[in-house]
């Protein structure tokens, strides 16, 4: 398995059929696999019709950034709810 440092579009352009070397591929099935922390894709070559599996792994740094964003959003919502409760008490 190769690890690519290119962006998603460039990686897709670079992927080729292991049988005939053609770049025209089609994704049949995509599944997230928690055990490998990545995506397993079943692909088929449009020219020779051979099928193969490719694995795409999630970047740990990206995953950490997404988790931080989610936690920040949750904290912001909790703060807004708390402020609304305070304002409601003042009115009553």
Which helix (H) or strand (E) covers residue 57, if one does?
strand 51-57
Separation CA 89–CA 71 (nearest Å) = 27
pTM: 0.47
Domain that holds residue 9: 1-58
Residue 49 and residue 70 in one domain = no
Residue 53 and residue 63 in one domain = no
4 vs 9, more confident? 9
pLDDT band at 9 (very low <50, low <70, confident <90, very high): low
Residue 44 and residue 63 in one domain = no
Residue 51 and residue 34 in one domain = yes
């Amino acid at each position: 398995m190769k690890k690519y440092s290119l962006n998603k579009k460039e990686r897709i352009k670079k992927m080729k059929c292991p049988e005939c070397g053609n770049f025209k591929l089609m994704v049949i099935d995509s599944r997230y696999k928690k055990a490998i922390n990545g995506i397993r894709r079943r692909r088929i070559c449009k020219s020779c019709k051979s099928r193969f599996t490719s694995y795409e792994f999630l970047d740990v740094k990206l995953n950490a950034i997404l988790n931080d964003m989610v936690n920040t959003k949750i904290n912001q919502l909790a703060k807004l709810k708390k402020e609304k409760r305070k304002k409601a008490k003042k009115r009553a």
